[in-house]
């Protein structure tokens, strides 16, 4: 759970309680004078970050613009984008429009973007960050993350996955050298805080040991079937906030996956709390101590995702969610699996671990629970 001493409210943000301009032809969810906003957690850099954000992976063009506009008018202040998402320009345009309309100030926006794998060469870091600032239209970035510990060969800025013979071309740049170049961005005032994404425990530890500053954030996949407890605990011990992407597990109504999302147990929680499955999961993850960034483009889902701070799960219900059987990660970046810095378990290692577990547990390898044929699905939060 995020300690109460680390959380602040948004009640003193005067500009956030003024009249909200309506560009989508509908009233704000909480009325003119009472926008609901997420509490904030203090990062080790001294800056504050809202404990809930809006993810924008796979959102482009008009869909991205309208999602950002709706999110700001609903009360979101934390936005997550990346160079590889190819939507920084739309994210920046929508946020700047909201600032110009007087709905929010730049100081009350927390904007995260990421350094992509083709730009790991330390000589590239400042140049590409300047390009990202230009696309966003801002003077600084609140949080700049190294998207992945593995670098790709740089051919040009537009080729995000350089390939030869259908294989991504990997580079041998050490992420420690990339990190040191990112530290210079803080000194230059281009970014306020720096962190990492998709780093495992050993890689985070190596940065702490080999650098003058530690990451303020590690953004990784966390959802009820993939909680990464050891990594989360390690980061928490070292004062590193964990941001959770794909926090709901990418629910799919057609395949009824993940199973927990469509289960009878989840339906009981929905009935008990009168909340959607997504709201229950987001509330659970915040209580667990991570910062979820669900992706949503539908205005209803955007509003629902933020409307989670007026209820709490009982300890018994948190234990129920904690007891969900662990699953494999959703986002595997398998194109980089041959690199020595690949941060995840490789497929052969997963298979070996699964076989050992099943031998001890006595569970048939292909056994799985049947999912009910009905049940709500948000179906809107994606991964990296």
d(C-alpha 186, C-alpha 54), whole Å: 24
Q: Where are the alpha helices (DSSP H) in 139-253?
A: 175-187, 201-210, 229-237
d(C-alpha 220, C-alpha 247), whole Å: 10
- Write out 13-52 in H/E/C secondary structure: CHHHHCCCCCCCCCCCCCCCCCCCCCCEEECCCCCEEECC
d(C-alpha 238, C-alpha 235), whole Å: 5
Q: 375: phi > 0 → left, psi -120 to 50 → alpha, else beta; which?
A: left
β-pairing, 167-168 vs 163-164, is antiparallel
Q: Is-contact 312 287, C-beta < 8 A?
A: yes
User: Phi, psi (5° rounding) for residue 292?
Assistant: -75, 145
- Sign (positive or negative) of CA dihedral 8, 47, 68, 308: negative
Angle at which helices 88-100 and 61-74 pack, to 10 degrees? 40
d(C-alpha 314, C-alpha 316), whole Å: 5
- Sign (positive or negative) of CA dihedral 232, 236, 242, 246: positive
The set of catalytic residues is 85
- Sign (positive or negative) of CA dihedral 18, 90, 253, 38: negative
**How far is Cα of residue 297 from the mean position of the Cα atoms in its chain?**
15
């Amino acid at each position: 759970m995020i300690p109460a001493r680390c959380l602040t409210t948004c009640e003193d943000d005067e500009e956030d309680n003024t009249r909200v301009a309506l560009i989508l032809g509908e009233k704000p969810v909480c009325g003119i004078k009472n926008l609901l906003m997420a509490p904030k957690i203090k990062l080790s850099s001294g800056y504050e970050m809202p404990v809930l954000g809006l993810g924008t992976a796979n959102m482009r063009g008009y869909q991205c613009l309208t999602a950002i506009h709706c999110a700001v008018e609903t009360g979101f202040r934390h936005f997550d984008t990346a160079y590889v998402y190819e939507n920084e320009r739309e994210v920046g345009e929508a946020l700047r429009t909201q600032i110009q309309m007087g709905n929010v100030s730049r100081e009350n926006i927390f904007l995260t973007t990421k350094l992509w794998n083709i730009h790991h060469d330390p000589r590239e870091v400042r140049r590409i960050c300047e390009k990202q600032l230009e696309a966003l239209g801002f003077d600084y970035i609140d949080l700049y993350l190294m998207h992945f510990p593995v670098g790709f060969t740089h051919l040009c800025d537009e080729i995000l996955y350089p390939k030869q013979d259908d294989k991504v071309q990997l580079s041998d740049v050490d992420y420690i050298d990339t990190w040191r170049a990112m530290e210079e961005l803080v000194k230059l005032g281009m970014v306020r805080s720096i962190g990492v994404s998709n780093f495992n425990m050993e890689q985070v530890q190596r940065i702490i040991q080999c650098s003058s500053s530690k990451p303020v954030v590690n953004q990784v996949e966390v959802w009820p079937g993939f909680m990464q407890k050891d990594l989360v605990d390690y980061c928490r011990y070292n004062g590193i906030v964990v941001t959770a992407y794909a926090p709901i597990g990418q629910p799919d109504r057609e395949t009824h996956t993940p199973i927990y999302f469509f289960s009878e147990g989840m339906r009981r929680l929905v009935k008990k709390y009168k909340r959607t499955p997504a709201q229950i999961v987001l509330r659970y993850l915040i209580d667990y101590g991570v910062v979820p960034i669900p992706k949503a483009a539908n205005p209803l889902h955007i509003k629902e995702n933020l409307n989670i701070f007026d209820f709490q799960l009982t300890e018994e219900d948190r234990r129920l969610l904690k007891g969900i059987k662990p699953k494999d990660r959703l986002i595997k970046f398998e194109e980089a699996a041959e690199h020595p810095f690949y941060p995840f378990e490789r497929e052969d290692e997963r298979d070996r671990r699964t076989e050992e577990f099943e031998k001890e547990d006595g569970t048939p390898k292909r056994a799985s629970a049947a999912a009910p044929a009905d049940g709500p699905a948000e179906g809107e939060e994606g991964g990296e």
